[in-house]
Amino acid sequence: MLTKRQRDVARALFEGRLTEPEIVERYKVSPRILQRWLGKPEFQQEFERLKENLRREANFAMVRYTPAAVVRLVELLGSDKADVARRAALDLMDRGLEPGSPGEEADCGEEAPSEEMADEQVREMLVSLASGYKKERG
């Protein structure tokens, strides 16, 4: 089990704000002992724990900000600049068709009737969905 000082040193190294010589000075540990700590399985496990926490926080942030990103992309569909609108549409389609995305239906063995929609209809539908989302959040 690591001491508080070892956990503090591990966090400082993980965050990358201090160099090893600065850590040696700040935490009053010799370079040789620091190297010994770095080789300990417990120290390496602490790095893994810190990485996992960071990964989890990043995933939470992605989930939290995805609806706002979708709303922004939908707004960009109405851009006066054709290239901006096109890229927003492509981004929406790319993200919406990823495996496990809400728009992807499970294969039930039946084929749904194919219904083509005009670009303007799709844009209007997405703008409507986005405005409904804004009202819920507002």
What does the pLDDT look like over 50-104, one tens digit per residue? 999 999 999 999 889 988 888 898 899 888 898 998 888 888 888 775 555 444 4
**Rg over CA atoms, the chain:** 25
Model confidence at 135, in pLDDT bands (50, 70, 90)?
low
**What is d(CA 122, CA 69) in angstroms, rounded to the nearest whole number?**
18
Backbone angles phi, psi at 104, to 5 degrees: -90, 120
| pTM for this prediction | 0.55
Spans of all domains in the chain? 4-57, 59-98+119-137
Neighbours of 37 (CB within 10 A): 20
